[in-house]
Structure 1
């Protein structure tokens, strides 16, 4: 039980040292991540559609 208490105390102490992003930074990072995910999703969807069409053309 003593080890758990020490661990939790250490966690609280370390969390106080963390440099949390400001609201503006967080918004910017979120937009960057979402736009990257959307871009990669669209990219792979187009690639998948292209490969599917090529395979469909070769089979027929």
Structure 2
């Protein structure tokens, strides 16, 4: 167990972490993508509901 944690710690030191500007850019990209997909599926769901209500 300790060997595993030591190896994890060693590997984490090799990770290239994003800088502040990159992190902000990635965060905005993720949030806008999630919002777009949520609106898209909301509209699809609304359309299907309207079609089913007509039947």
- Given the alignment, which residue of 21, 24, 30 partners 2:21? 24
- Given the alignment, which residue of 40, 46, 50 partners 1:49? 46
Q: Which runs of 5+ in 2 are unaligned?
A: none
**Runs of 4+ with deviation above 3 angstroms:** none
In the alignment, which residue of structure 2 is the partner of 1:37?
A: 34
Q: Which runs of 5+ in 1 are unaligned?
A: none
TM-score (norm 2): 0.91
Give the length in aligned residue pairs: 55
